[in-house]
Copies of this chain bind each other. A is one copy, B any other.
């Protein structure tokens, strides 16, 4: 049944009840007579990470002494450089002085941070300070963008992809129900698999209003090439679509790749008229708990009636949001404004990038087909013919290592697991050892690791610890 028909029926169901509806009592506790939002009902199961969290708790109940290592949720673990935290501490302390106190900041963010982002993240891309909207993180911006677009748009997403695009679309009423395969009616799923170089055949993609595209991709770790993004922008221009480009992991693109692998959609000519970009300090500077991100909405991006998208987005930001914490914003400025700050945060990214390389090599040495991990903090490992949740459960049971089942990122992720490089070097090495030690028979076609003991494995993996990665 189409979305709006459901709404229609509900409206009919609600309206006659006005003025008369008694509180519903069907045994048990007293209920209100408010109908549950039908869009919320459509959401499938729990959200992926809370679900994994539950599995982790169950595992700990079974093995109270197990040292569980999480290579699951993409959560940063390395300390933030002190040049950044000192700036935040200083800003916080100044709030106790008449000169340093600041109340509400502009909803769109502090001018100096907007300028640093425009200048340092988008050099030579023509992004203006006024086009940068500071936020409390990319996930929150995705929710606000879906609020902006509203219930009537049709969206396309990569499959597999970060669940936030789809889930926020479902909540907004953009979709019908999910089918047995987990695909929501009304959404265009663009399969991205090793077979198509993780880029859809655009000639077969149905025209949609909005295209969510994440590169480097979460979860596959694939960073789209310049040619792929050129095709994407061309498609959007041809179809009059809006691209929402998620570049939250762009700092993981190595400098050697960056000539062929753009870090921003605005490196592609013509993108300003069709693309919004969302990004974040979370994985770039370890701000997952500090909460800071941004969205770029170029002035040239227009709805069909000529109204600038930025005008409505500004309204959403002012109405649904009230600006990111000023303290976090001071930290963001410290990450970008000096050579020292930029160098310090880049070194932390370097640690995770090297972790990714350890994990790539570990799974490769087990004979697995491995993707990502080069220009991204995620490693995407194939387990042909296996169900992702089974592989996840088996790895957890046998090694106490948490990964993420690929199917949690969409039907196209079935048969894969995502392994996150976000953990300390020691933990990553320990996990690499544990995973490497699983006998071949226990996880699908995993081959027995060449090394026959902890010592050798450690010496082999610690090599990565010392090696510089360009």
Contacts and interface: CB of A to CB of B under 8 A. Distances in A.
A85 interface: yes
A97 B210 CA distance: 42
Contact of A85 (B93, B105, B153, B171): B93
B81 A321 contact: no
Most chain B beta carbons < 10 A, residue from A93, A98, A151, A241: A151
Contacts of A24: 240, 304
Given A4-B11, A79-B95, A152 B240 contact: no
A323 B291 CA distance: 8
Given A26-B306, A322-B136, A206 B34 contact: no
A interface: dominant SS: loop
B152 A14 contact: yes
Contacts of A179: none
Interface string A70-91: 0001011111111011101110
A384 interface: no
A353 B64 CA distance: 54
A104 B331 CA distance: 17
A101 B49 CA distance: 20
Stoichiometry, as copies per complex, reads 2
A136 B324 CA distance: 8
Interface in A317-359: 318-328, 331
A238 interface: yes
Interface stretch (A36-44, A256-264, A448-456, A462-470): A36-44
A296 interface: no
Contacts of A28: 306
A121 interface: no
A21 to B, nearest CB: 5
A1 interface: no
Given A152-B38, A289-B104, A318-B50, A327 B14 contact: no
Contact of A325 (B73, B151, B291, B303): B291
B4 A7 contact: yes
A63 interface: no
A207 B20 contact: yes
Interface string A215-245: 0000000000000000000001111111000
B23 A239 contact: yes
A302 B30 contact: yes
A355 to B, nearest CB: 14
Given A18-B207, A84-B96, A291-B325, 6 more contacts: A4-B8, A18-B208, A36-B305, A85-B95, A104-B288, A289-B323
Interface of A: 2-4, 7-8, 10-11, 14, 17-24, 26, 28-40, 43, 47, 49-50, 73, 75-82, 84-86, 88-90, 92-98, 100-105, 136-137, 139-140, 143, 147-154, 164, 167-168, 171-173, 206-210, 236-242, 273-274, 286, 288-291, 300-307, 312, 315-316, 318-328, 331, 422, 424
